[in-house]
């Protein structure tokens, strides 16, 4: 692979991550183009792609469990449904060439995420501060104030993507000399927190709180600032209760959805009900057919105990791997060579974020989020890289 072509694919790969902020249609289109280019290169130049080193067996087992559950449920329970539903976004774990990581400009990922996030953030501000919306909120109560969608279909999904970018910004502040851009980086973090506050995404606040504490623990230079920030966040959270109130109905809904998911799991314990099949079953008391707002419960209900074991095997393998690599890198014992420690920190924070959001939302079941998480897992699985640029097992 020539340097020019490699650079071209690196930019496209970063756009696969950044296109998240322009909505699911754009996101899927860019990833599909990326996939087609690799297929073309395979047949034209015989350049292999899809090889991974770590997590290969775990990922393949999980994909197999998802497919078996999808096929079985379709023909056992939903005959005549017309389609087989499965989490196809997980295939992105295999799609990019291992050679892509050689000489990758890691700051390019950060730059693309930041640039692509800004248009949706500005659109959110214009949406949130419409005079008619503010007047309506003053009349009926700010609990019904609009949420920050950006160009995404769901404010929680939008918030999770924004926080992934924030965590990469935090990581970069520990290893990059941002110079005059440092203030802009801090401003970006504050701006995202304001949008999340106005959008009332509780899981995002919890995720940022957790990462802030982890950041304070692992990076001494920011410890005092992060502790002050955490204190300010907690005070701010209590302050928002007076403005927006606390939506106990939402908590009740989520608990009922989790109970519904557990009930379906116990009824179909081996292979589950099949991916994305929750609407086929009776809703909860208020009429919601939604999935359980918990990734582990949702995976169990959809794919049964077999799928759950494979999911935990894969995701915990990824988490264990990045945790080990990060702490080895901090000690200077890492065999990664060309991969900066701040990049490992960014990957580590992203994996922590996946688990925190997964406690209150089904982020593995969101195609948009699964695409971006799986591409980060794909990077992680193809590390380490030696100082010579060779990808090593």
Q: Report pLDDT digits (tens) over 201-260.
A: 888 889 999 999 999 999 999 899 889 888 887 887 777 777 676 666 777 878 888 888
pLDDT at 16 over 60: yes
311: nearest Cα among 68, 60, 93, 108: 60
**Phi, psi (deg, nearest 5) at residue 150:** 60, -130
pLDDT of residue 200: 82
Total domains in the fold of the chain: 1
Q: What confidence category does residue 197 fall into, taking pLDDT thresholds of 50, 70 and 90? A: confident
Q: Is residue 163 part of a domain?
A: yes
By residue count, the chain amounts to 393
Q: Is residue 186 part of a domain?
A: yes
User: 241, exposed or middle or buried, with CB in 10 Å at 0-12, 13-18, 19+?
Assistant: exposed
Whole domain around residue 221: which residue ranges? 3-382
pLDDT of residue 337: 64
pLDDT at 386 over 60: no
pLDDT of residue 349: 97
Least confident of 71-75, 134-138, 140-144, 272-276: 140-144
Looking at the DSSP bridge assignments, the partners of residue 385 are 391
Residue with tokens 């890289």: 385
With a CB cutoff of 8 Å and minimum separation 6, the contacts of 331 are none
The span from the CA of 136 to the CA of 152, in Å, is 23
pLDDT at 311 over 90: yes
CA 2 to chain centre: 31
Percentage of the chain exceeding pLDDT 70: 90
Q: What confidence category does residue 391 fall into, taking pLDDT thresholds of 50, 70 and 90? A: very low
Greatest mean pLDDT range, 74-88, 165-179, 352-366: 352-366
DSSP 248: H
Distances in whole angstroms, Cα of residue 286 to Cα of each of 141, 279, 297: 22, 14, 20
Of residues 230 and 61, more confidence is placed in 61
Q: Is residue 392 part of a domain?
A: no
DSSP 290: P
pTM above 0.95, yes or no: no
Q: Is residue 199 part of a domain?
A: yes
The span from the CA of 286 to the CA of 297, in Å, is 20
Supply the mean pLDDT for the chain: 85
Q: What confidence category does residue 366 fall into, taking pLDDT thresholds of 50, 70 and 90? A: very high
Q: Is residue 388 part of a domain?
A: no
Q: Is residue 222 part of a domain?
A: yes
| Token pair recorded at residue 366 | 């969101």
The span from the CA of 382 to the CA of 385, in Å, is 8
Q: Is residue 391 part of a domain?
A: no
Average the pLDDT over 289-306 and give the result: 91
pLDDT of residue 80: 58
Note whether 64 and 36 are within 8 A (CB).
no
Report, in angstroms and rounded to the nearest whole number, the Rg of the chain calculated over CA atoms.
Answer: 21
Note whether 26 and 121 are within 8 A (CB).
no
- Return the SS3 of 208: helix
Q: Is residue 85 part of a domain?
A: yes
Greatest mean pLDDT range, 44-48, 98-102, 278-282, 314-318: 314-318
Of residues 121 and 103, more confidence is placed in 121
């Amino acid at each position: 692979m020539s340097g020019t072509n490699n650079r071209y694919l690196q930019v496209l790969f970063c756009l696969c991550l950044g296109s998240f902020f322009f909505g699911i249609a754009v996101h899927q289109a860019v990833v599909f183009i990326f996939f087609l280019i690799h297929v073309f290169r395979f047949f034209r130049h015989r350049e292999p792609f899809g090889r991974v080193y770590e997590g290969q067996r775990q990922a393949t087992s999980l994909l197999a469990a998802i497919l078996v559950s999808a096929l079985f449920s379709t023909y056992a329970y939903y005959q005549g449904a017309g389609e087989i539903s499965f989490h196809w976004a997980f295939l992105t774990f295999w799609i990019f060439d291992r050679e892509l990581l050689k000489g990758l400009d890691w700051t390019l990922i950060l730059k693309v995420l930041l640039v692509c996030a800004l248009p949706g953030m500005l659109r959110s501000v214009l949406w949130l501060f419409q005079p008619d919306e503010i007047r309506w909120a003053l009349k009926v109560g700010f609990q019904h104030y609009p949420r920050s969608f950006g160009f995404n279909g769901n404010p929680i999904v939008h918030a999770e993507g924004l926080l992934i970018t924030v965590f990469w910004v935090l990581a970069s502040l520990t290893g990059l000399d941002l110079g005059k851009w440092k203030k802009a980086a801090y401003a970006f973090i504050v701006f995202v927190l304001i949008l999340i506050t106005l959008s009332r995404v509780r899981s995002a606040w919890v995720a940022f709180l957790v990462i802030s504490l982890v950041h304070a623990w692992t990076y001494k230079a920011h410890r005092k600032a992060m502790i002050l920030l955490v204190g300010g966040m907690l005070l701010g959270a209590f302050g928002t209760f007076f403005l927006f109130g606390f939506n106990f109905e939402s908590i009740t809904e989520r608990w009922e959805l989790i109970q519904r998911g557990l009930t379906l799991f116990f009824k179909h314990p081996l292979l589950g009900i099949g991916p994305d099949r929750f609407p086929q079953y009776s809703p909860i008391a208020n009429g919601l057919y939604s999935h359980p707002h918990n990734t582990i419960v949702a995976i169990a209900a959809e794919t049964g105990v077999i799928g759950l074991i494979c999911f935990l095997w894969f995701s915990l393998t990824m988490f264990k791997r990045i945790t080990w690599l990060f702490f080895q890198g901090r000690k200077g014992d890492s065999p990664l060579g060309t991969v900066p420690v701040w990049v490992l920190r960014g990957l580590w924070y992203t994996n922590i974020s996946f688990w925190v959001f997964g406690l209150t939302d089904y982020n593995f079941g969101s195609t948009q989020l699964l695409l971006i998480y799986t591409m980060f897992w794909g990077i992680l699985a193809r590390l380490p890289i030696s100082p010579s640029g060779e990808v090593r097992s």
